[in-house]
Amino acid sequence: MTESTHASLHELLEHGQSYWLDNLSRRMIRDGELERRVGQEGLRGVTSNPAIFRSAISGGDAYDEQIEHLVRSGRSLMETYEELACSDLQDACDILRPVYDESAGRDGYVSLEVSPHLIHDTEGSLEEARRLWARVDRPNLYIKIPGTPAGAPAVEQLIYEGISVNVTLLFSLSAYEEVARAYIRGLRRRLDEGEPVDGVTSVASFFLSRIDVLVDELLGHRIGISDTSDGASFGPRAEDLLGQAAIASAKLAYASFERLFSGPEWEPLAAAGAGVQRLLWASTSTKNPTYNDVMYVEPLIGPETVNTMPESTIAAFADHGAVRPGSIRDGAEQASRTLADLEDLGIDLKSVHQRLIDEGAKKFIVPFDALLDGLARKRFDVLGDDIASEEYELGDMSGSVDSTLSAMSAARFVRRLFAGDTSLWTRSDETARLIRERLGWLDLSVLQETMDAARTLADSLGQENVGHAVILGMGGSSLTAAVAARVFGRAPDAPELHVLDDTSPEAITDLESRIELERTVFLVASKSGTTLETLSLYRYFYSRVEQAGVESPGNRFIGLTDAGTLLEIEARQKSFRQTFETPEAVGGRFSALTSFGLVPMALLGADLDAVCYHAQAMLTSCGPDGSANLSPGVKLGAALAYLSDRGYRHVTLLASESLAAFPLWIEQLLAESTGKGGQGLIPVVSDPALDMRRPKSGRVIVTTELAGDRSVQARLEALSSAGCPVIRLIIPSLEAIGGEFIRWQIATATAGALLGINPFDEPDVRASQENTRRLLETISEGKLPDEPAATRQGGLSGYLRSDAPWSSSLSNGTLDALLSDFLSLARPENYVGILAYFPPTAERLAALDRLRRAIARLGPVTTLAQGPRYLHSTGQLHKGGPDTGVFLMLTADPSARIPVPGAEYGFGELHRAQALGDYEALLEADRPILRINLGWYITEALDRLAATIG
């Protein structure tokens, strides 16, 4: 641009109009271009928007160093974007500060937009505007607020608070007048309260070329149409109105501006030093190549106006533009006729304006989302091997899953999930209220406080030479601890961690044989504080500690429960050593990263900082700012839901040897969250039949692998060749399991939403519990009532409800025949659920594997659930999930009688009542179930059953 071409740009200022640049990048800041334009070419301001920032950030490596720093410091995508943008805005504001000072605050501004997703959100816009204003901390910053019905009250409030505003996306006279009045109201409120009004300003950005693009399109449908039979027309002609709507709208807006900012309403504000809200012409590049390339500059010059131009328009105007002083006031009457003529032709300008707002929002939202997605990809590149990775091998279903994710992005699924939008799962107000009370797991802000308290406890126990820590709990209250014990092991000098989630006398006596009561602490874990099994075990061991003569027995107990529960009250009365109050808004199965998981990990000596780093990193990766396909948790949940809808319900979970316990936690989460209403994902854990190298109906394989460990690779190759979809989740370290807790929780919530399931309740769990309590109330002389066996053979007894509709075709002969007929009810699409009510020794587990393999040869998938612990995990799925389960319940005779303190029954009766209670609950749910009592010799009996099946 030569010196002579600068004249017209400088001349604009002489006639009351400032020109601003509609572009900003770090390159132009750093290489001196922006400073040169300000100093030599008369540039008076800069605007930015998401499209501009996307182009700047993706256009080179200028931002990479800062991005890496922000990513490694754990910033979210939105925080990263804001830091990048605010850094540029601060530098640009500093370059333009001399203009601001010289013009007494009239010019020299740089504009920064709130998220375009807030276009209809007044409170959200206010919150973000305040944050950005404080972060940039420059007086010559404009916060851009859209001129929508929701934006106008935000404009008034921000002006009142002393925050300068650039009002954007104005297309109509009525919208402009509303935001002008909002500006005046905000100033008046300041003046009424004695606040200065000379330091806060505003511009109202009227978008021009977009008006003509849309109106011309509508006029095109009407060109050549006359309103008389001989072809003559006495009304307006469409072709005469092409390219006229935007200029006409701008001229009428300026007439309103002169009226609003004069007269008795405005004069007191002006006398106090207030500046007018200048009109800013935006979208001034000519979109139609047949039109004059400076058509949105030359006719719109006038006092108290701004023209924001892209570089191409600046160059064109500098080259051949003509300065026509006061041109904005010319032709006001013709402008009114133009808009009236458009209405006469059937063009509804109100509808046009609404469509322009919607399209304008989209033009900002699309690049903004693309910008955040680009930052998400850069984040993955920066973290590389430090975070989990994933591989999806879904065959010809990959494209459909991608389409599902795209649709979810369009519906803002991730943003709504993290905002706690309960409409993802329900339309019922009451259910929505209950769901809102279960979404606390999306907030990890309390992690540090819990970690610190857990480590303090671990240190104090170490100083006292405590050798054992026993978790007394069921389901979500104990599963994370059980997983942690097997995944992390224990550090030197850490206590040995035991998990007791079994009420059988054998399990209790086995635990007692492995601990020293005088060197043991007991963690009583129950979110509700009323769990029957947990409280029974607590009372037993409290009495045992008392009997051992331990001074202050309550000091050997630690409570993990919600505030105000019966357990919390008991803990205070018995002077427990410590009670960790668990978050009320986090359900039990979503509580891995609360004290239920963190306290046991701390006692083991696990690296809590690393575990929680990976949890936070996964939460950041999952949202809420990125698209669904870039959220590891949402993507997993969407894939599982899509596959389930197409018959792939059996989610077979594999893991590296060092992570072998982790699928047990996933099993509980999936089964209890999705198994209801006749739907649900069916988790399959430790399936011994996978090496049979035959396709299994409806299987999807999901692995959790430790990087570098190929222990599951051979099994995967066989399954892939059999046509099973495979999803591989690969984590960089054992501590990265913290992130997998988050991934799977988000995946489960996502799958529930897509399958039409509320994943946060457990409607079918109470049936077994109520049956158990009822049975315990019927104990007579220490015995439970029992139904007669349908058949007995070789010391084994079979129990079958003969009045069940599915039992009419079954044999009433030998147990072998009954078992064979019963298993024939399972078709290949079914699963056989083995419900084992006896403690799982290594020998028994091996025998159960042999039994599962024998059943698998018949065709169905098998699952294994250990009672009574499964009542708090897969029990919901069995009764409320898909009607494809065929259940084989295996019970045994108790080996000893141990009383439950304060109860008329012992643990043997409790254990048996739980089995019989669930047996009845399954019958009530019309599930096929055969119970076989194995007697005392459990391993031998299991092998006999396997041999019978063949």
Query: Which residues are catalytically annotated?
Result: 144
Any residues with CB less than 8 A from the CB of 273 and at least 6 apart, and which? 196, 197, 198
Residue type, 720: S
Question: What are the residue ranges of helices labelled H in 3-63?
Answer: 7-14, 26-30, 33-41, 50-58
Contact 621, 631 (CB under 8 A): yes
Helix (H, G, I), strand (E, B) or coil at 315: helix
Which residue from 257, 300, 273, 311 is spatially nearest to 15, judged by alpha carbons?
300
Q: Does an H or E element contain 833, and which? A: strand 831-837
Q: Is the dihedral of CA 888, 894, 898, 901 positive or negative?
A: positive
- End-to-end Cα distance, the chain: 90
What's the CA gap between 109 and 125, in Å, rounded? 20
Nearest alpha carbon to residue 689 among 861, 947, 836, 832: 861
Which of these, 345, 269, 258, lies nearest to 305 by C-alpha position?
258
Rounded to an integer, what distance in angstroms lies between the CA atom of residue 649 and that of residue 642? 10
Measured CA to CA, the distance from residue 775 to residue 766 in angstroms comes to 14
The amino acid at 929: I
Cβ contacts of 606-613, under 8 Å, gap ≥ 24: 606/484, 606/488, 606/491, 606/735, 607/735, 608/451, 608/454, 608/455, 609/451, 610/733, 610/735, 610/738, 611/735, 611/737, 611/738, 612/444, 612/447, 612/448, 612/451, 612/738, 613/74, 613/735, 613/738
- Taking CA atoms, 485 is separated from 476, 714, 810, 867, in Å, by 15, 27, 44, 20
Counting Cβ atoms within 10 Å, is residue 235 exposed (0-12), middle (13-18) or buried (19+)?
Answer: exposed
d(CA 359, CA 853): 60
- Sheet of 791-793: strand order equals 791-793, 796-799, 929-933, 885-891, 831-837, 861-866
User: In the structure encoding, which two tokens stand for residue 658, read together?
Assistant: 């060092």
User: Distance of CA 847 to CAs 835, 863, 912, 943, 949, Å?
Assistant: 14, 14, 22, 6, 13
Residue 168's CB: how many other CB atoms inside 10 A? 30
Q: Which helix (H) or strand (E) holds 704?
A: strand 699-706
Class of residue 180 by CB neighbours under 10 A (exposed 0-12, middle 13-18, buried 19+): buried
Decide: 640 and 651 in contact? Cβ < 8 Å: yes
3-state DSSP assignment of residue 497: strand
3-class secondary structure, 241 = helix
Task: Count how many Cα atoms sit within 13 Å of the Cα of residue 23 in the half-sphere of its side chain.
Answer: 18
Q: Which residues pair with 654 in a beta bridge?
A: 703
Structure letter (DSSP) for residue 440: G
List Cα–Cα distances, 270 to 189, 191, 204, 262, 273, in angstroms.
14, 11, 18, 9, 5
The number of C-alpha atoms within 13 Å of 841 and in the hemisphere containing its C-beta is 11
With tokens 């504080």, the residue in question is 529
Q: Within 10 Å of residue 902's Cβ, how many Cβ atoms?
A: 10
Q: Using DSSP bridges, classify how beta strands 682-685 and 650-655 pair: parallel, antiparallel or unpaired.
A: parallel
